Structure 1
């Protein structure tokens, strides 16, 4: 799993654990201006079996295609695109490679098309709700890109339970 900030670290690590609960989680922090500190990582509480700060080019070289089944890219869109291009180049002659998963840490409220197009090419693009999944697919279809990679999946730190409308009860006195 590769992350570029503490928030995306939490999303990526918890997503990876949900996808393969008993698998080893090797965590990589993309070196940059938002690289989380040890203290920040401790505060988010999402642990990995190993952790290493790394440059993007070194991450592409470090991914062990024979040992890794799923690769979660928990980064901003530009970093995801760079990793997709780098990994695609590195894996161009390989028969086996990990499934590449990416998505958004929370509500997608700006640069929807930009962010999605930067993530296009991942095997799975996680959408945090049915509404987001519909929006994501519409963006991909709008530019003539396949939309089969979009998968609805609740945010991992919400426990995975879908939202349920509160049941209408009797009105409160005086209300």
Structure 2
């Protein structure tokens, strides 16, 4: 989105809330960002209000909080300068949990980028039922998928890639089982190269924290020569991969787009905690026994249509077109959502008016005074502003444990 908007003449700035960072500096650089500014929440909201376009890459609850904050600030400003920024939100992959809650968290933005026709139908139904306008929904598709996937490649399988996920499966025992079956597959097929691609390197993190890295679970000295752990980006690996195996990773869609065969692991059952419940109608669920013997499925036409159909332009282009149209018209679809009973109740619940403090005092400062009194509220606010998160967060946890 940044690249597409910059091509259209927008300047951009990347800011994040001043909390614990889930990403290492190397991961930030790998994502193509030379600079990321960390801001206290109130300053971040202020930066949004002074922008023309805000693309929220925050998780659902934080996106909901941001849209509430912007709504409250614009409401307090009244008929001030302009209609406010165009707020954009979406999902970075297949939604395997909280599909309804995730939509409602993002419903207060002007553009909600939707990945599939199945998701779009669900969101329209949910919004209509709850009295939430749905004209902010835009079927963009996932940004890394084309509208016309390559035909499935045939021929022998010589390279197998397992796309690991940070939290699926969750337990060490289940992850060990999957890794063991991959190693056994490599032994069973010595003519194949079997690659295990973790989401990140040991010691790094993502938005979903990984508890059991394959490096910690696999026996280092007992692995076959044709089995390797790799950290090369999947987009670079796929052109030479004949079979992609995963539990429920979005990488399965990237593989289908490249014409690569896909198998979704069925051994642990179909369950929401594995995320494979959304693939029941895909035609791709297979046990390791089936994978070992070459009994692979084919993607169902309806599944392919949901993710690749009804698209005529790349997702960033679709979203940027809608953003420019809203900027030109001055229309902000989120305003109608903000007036809905559902959204207003969230504002009343989470953002009650704070009556303490003079006008120059920030809301965060005033909230701490309201909760802890003038002295300790000011100390708590000053610590948050002046001290790094590495110091503040452990102190908060210690204080909470003592209160408990």
Task: Go from structure 1 to structure 2 and tell me whether the alpha carbon gap of 1:29 and 1:75 turns closer, same or farther (over 3 Å shift).
Answer: same
Q: Deviations over 1:63-117 (max 9, x none)?
A: 353xx22111111111011111111122222341111000111101211111111
Q: 1:155 aligns with which of 128, 142, 148?
A: 142
TM-score (norm 2): 0.34
**In structure 2, what is the Cα distance between the partners aligned to 1:20 and 1:163?**
26
Is 1:29–1:35's contact at 8 Å kept on the other side of the alignment? Answer: no
The structure 1 segments of at least 4 consecutive aligned residues displaced by more than 6 Å after TM superposition are: none
Return closer, same or farther for 1:20/1:44 CA change in 2, 3 Å cut-off.
Answer: closer
Structure-2 residue corresponding to 1:73 = 56
Q: Among 9, 17, 22, which residue is 2:3 paired with?
A: 17
Contact map agreement 1:73 1:101 (CA 8 A) in 2: yes
Residue segments in structure 2 that go unaligned for 5+ positions in a row = 156-404
Q: Secondary structure at the match of 2:36?
A: strand
After TM superposition, the score normalised by the length of structure 1 is: 0.74
Q: Judging changes above 3 Å, is the alpha-carbon distance between structure 1 residues 99 and 139 closer, same or farther for their aligned structure 2 residues?
A: same
Kindly report which structure 2 residues correspond to 1:1-175, keeping only aligned pairs within 5 A, or say none: 15-19=1-5, 21=7, 22-45=9-32, 47=33, 51-65=36-50, 68-92=51-75, 93=78, 94-96=80-82, 97-156=84-143, 158=144, 161-164=146-149, 166=151
Instruction: Measure how far apart 1:130 and its partner are.
Output: 2.4
Whether the 8 Å CA contact 1:56–1:83 is kept in 2: the answer is no
Alignment partner, residue 176 of structure 2: none
- Find the structure with the greater CA-based Rg: 2
Distance 1:164 1:42, change over 3 A: same
Tell me the SS of whatever aligns to 2:14. Answer: strand
- Structure 1: unaligned runs, 5 residues or longer: 1-14
Contact 2:49–2:70 under 8 Å retained in 1: no
Residues 125/141 of structure 1: CA separation in 2 closer, same or farther (3 Å cut) = same
Superposition deviation, residue 30 in structure 1 = 2.0
Select the structure that is richer in strand.
1
Cα distance in 2 for partners of 1:86, 1:19 equals 24
Q: Decide whether the 8 Å contact of 2:111 with 2:136 is kept in 1.
A: yes
